[in-house]
Amino acid sequence: MTHIPKKYVDATEDLSWVLAKPVLSEKAARLGSEENVYTFTVDQRANKTQIKKAVQTYYKVSPEKVNIIVSNPTKKVFRGRRGQTAGSKKAMIFLKKGDTINLA
């Protein structure tokens, strides 16, 4: 059995699980309007190739590049109980000059 590297995405693969939701903060809105960069919360298992393919499929734009920001869970103590916050993964999608994503 041959091993297929993870960076190759099957064209028929269902990528609906990759993009969770867009980030709607002031900074993300400013980046979207001024620099054509859109930020999404993505699944922890998703890689750059899958994110790029999902954006192409659902928003009909072709990203130039994808940057990923990973926030690891942090340990907290609340009222004497130990726990941890949820980790997250965000993707910053850089688009070409004329392309836009309508998030409204």
Q: Where are the domains of the chain?
A: 19-95
Among candidates 15, 12, 28, 98, which has minimal Cα distance to 58? 15
pLDDT of residue 9: 57
Q: Which amino acid is at 11?
A: A
User: What are the per-10-residue average pLDDT scores of the chain (104 residues)?
Assistant: 56 84 94 94 93 94 96 95 95 94 84
Confidence at residue 8, expressed as pLDDT on a 0 to 100 scale: 58
Cα–Cα distance measured from residue 55 to residue 62, given in angstroms and rounded to the nearest whole number: 7
Question: According to the model, what pLDDT value does residue 1 have?
Answer: 52
Return the pLDDT at 14.
86
Residue 75 CB contacts under 8 Å (≥ 6 apart), including other chains: 82, 83, 84
Hey, which residues does 21 pair with through a beta bridge? 41
Domain 19-95, what fold? Answer: Alpha-Beta Plaits (3.30.70)
Give residue 11's pLDDT.
59
CA distance 54 to 99: 16
